[in-house]
Amino acid sequence: MESIINNEDTIAAIASAISLGKGGIAVIRVSGKEAINSCKNIVETKSKYAWDSHRVFHGFIKDNLENKLIDEILISVMHSPNTFTGEDIVELHCHGGLIVVNKVMKTLLSNNVGVRIANPGEFSQRAFLNGKIDLTQAESINQLINAKNDRSAEIAFNGVKGKIKNKIDEIKNDLIEQLSEIEARVDFDEDFSEFNYNQFSNNIKNIKEKIEILLENTKRGVHFHNGISIALIGKTNVGKSSLLNLLSKNDKAIVTSIPGTTRDTIEVNLTIRDVPIKIIDTAGIRETTEYIENIGIKKSFEMIKKSDYIIYLYSLEKGFNKDDEEIINTIPKEKLITILGNKKDLIDSKKIKNNLPNITLMSIKNNEGEKELIEKIVKKCGSKEFENIDIFLNERQISKLTDCLKNLNDTDPIIANQLPFDLLSIELRDGIKNLSRITGQELTEELLNNIFSKFCIGK
């Protein structure tokens, strides 16, 4: 594909995730014509493998201005074209931590003319422009990096491997086959037997079905990205924040015996038995004149409306009373996973009046009853819903696929009224064009910049 964006420059960026003072190793990635030369300038090495392609060798980074070594590193060199970007790539594996990495980066940039810091997504953009990956694979890389749960990462990786591209290409080939039939008739109609509108209509219907299934799966797949939301609702001090911490195996929320501790909503993304779930801890509901707490309580009621499901907690020690009943009445029945009676450890088990429907008894503090609760969550959220979903389209891809579906719907009246083939040809051509926009064979510079600017730097 002819490049529509200038990629003459050699670019560099920190490609590893940086965590202040924590990462043992950081990777600086350099890509472009001058990648190897520019690194040769600042690397001292005695390795016999130095600068061979697809080998790792040992060396030091040298600051030429101050004439001193600043880090000990491993270097990997990859010669074009068998690299991620398709260009020459050098990766400098230096020590982690902001100070060292930035120093190496600065040395690289200041010692060499022509190496500049990469823009967000620029490596992926080059990989795309050099035909290493298509647009859907590039977008899936970004999705993979930003995945919030295991399942979402798995599905994003399918996109990286080319599953979206293959599916779109398959639909496109179906359409091209139909178009060829039509185009041949536009030019040499006399040579063909009578056109079978019925057969053609059926073929288009089958293609439409493929698209509709893909769009339907994607709608369900949105949950993968965001997780099915479950709000923890109840009065103050019943154990909502403790439950969030128990489920996420993390002390994310502050737990104290002081009522009104949680004032804002706190969200945690997790995967429970393959189901991506977002647990939302809320402010306990009670009468209060405290200004900030009241804002939190208002948010709790909004969460009842906004979240997919709800677990309602109360304290067995305090008992289930009228206030609980009033709050529960605001929850749509189909949203309620369970009423959770907590603090079982504080009362005599014989005294538990188990007359509420759909109740789960727990001692969150002693980690009792978690298994039963998880069964109920999984049963309600249903892993079944997520079977057979192996790819996830983003908004841009959905919009183009919907445009293609519109083109195909527009063939209905043409077929019904047996109008001239040219009109069918126009719709099919547009449909194919819309599919090509998904994979990136049809694109503008603006679209390209827009897509890759959403990436992080170094990718």
- Please give the residue ranges that form the binding site for ligand GDP (CB under 6 A): 234, 236-242, 255-257, 261-262, 284, 342-343, 345-346, 363-365
**314 vs 392, beta carbon nearer ligand GDP:** 314
Q: How many residues bind Mg ion (CB under 5 A)?
A: 3
Please, which residue, 10 or 237, has the CB nearer to ligand GDP?
A: 237
Phi, psi angles (nearest 5°) of residue 339:
-95, 125
Phi/psi-derived region of residue 16, left when phi > 0, alpha when psi is between -120 and 50, beta in every other case: beta
Residue 321: which of Mg ion, ligand GDP, none does it interact with, CB under 5 to 8 A by kind? none
Q: Between 96 and 284, name the residue whose CB sits nearer to Mg ion.
A: 284
Q: Which range touches Mg ion (CB under 5 A), out of 261-269, 326-334, 399-407, 411-419? A: 261-269
Q: To the nearest whole angstrom, how small is the minimum distance from the Cβ of residue 246 to ligand GDP? A: 9
**By C-beta, is 182 or 340 nearer to ligand GDP?**
340
Identify whether the C-beta of residue 138 lies closer than 8 Å to the C-beta of residue 28.
no
Q: Length of the chain, please?
A: 459
CB of 236 to Mg ion, least distance (A): 7
C-alpha 125, offset from chain centre: 18
- The one segment of 201-209, 239-247, 270-278, 446-454 that binds Mg ion by CB under 5 A: 239-247
Measured from the CB of residue 278, what is the shortest distance to Mg ion in angstroms?
17
Asked if residue 397 binds Mg ion (CB under 5 A), the reply is: no
Name the residue nearer to ligand GDP (CB basis): 365 or 433. 365
Q: To the nearest whole angstrom, how small is the minimum distance from the Cβ of residue 377 to Mg ion?
A: 19
262 forms part of the interface with Mg ion (CB under 5 A): yes
336-342 vs 10-14, strand pairing mode: unpaired
CB of 263 to Mg ion, least distance (A): 9
237 binds Mg ion (CB under 5 A): no
Dist CA 213 CA 69 (whole Å): 59
* Min separation Cβ 320 and ligand GDP, Å: 15
Of the pair 203, 261, the CB lying nearest Mg ion is at: 261
Residue 158 vs 237, nearer CB to ligand GDP: 237
Using the rule CB under 5 A, is 241 a contact of Mg ion? yes
Q: Closer CB to ligand GDP, residue 140 or residue 315? A: 315
| Smallest distance from ligand GDP to CB 427, Å | 57
**Residue 261 class from Cβ within 10 Å (0-12 exposed, 13-18 middle, 19+ buried)?**
middle
Query: Which of 385, 409, 397, 459 is closest to 434 using CA atoms?
Result: 397
CB atoms within 10 A of CB 299: 16
Give the closest residue to 398 by CA, choosing from 343, 446, 458, 438: 438
Q: Give the one entry of Mg ion, ligand GDP, none that residue 411 binds, where binding means its C-beta sits below a cut-off of 5 to 8 angstroms depending on kind.
A: none
What Å distances lie between residue 312 and 273, 335, 341, CA to CA? 22, 10, 9
**Distance (Å, rounded) from C-alpha 443 to C-alpha 453?**
15
Binding partner of residue 242 among Mg ion, ligand GDP, none, CB cut-off 5 to 8 Å per kind = ligand GDP
Q: What residue ranges bind Mg ion (CB under 5 A)?
A: 240-241, 262
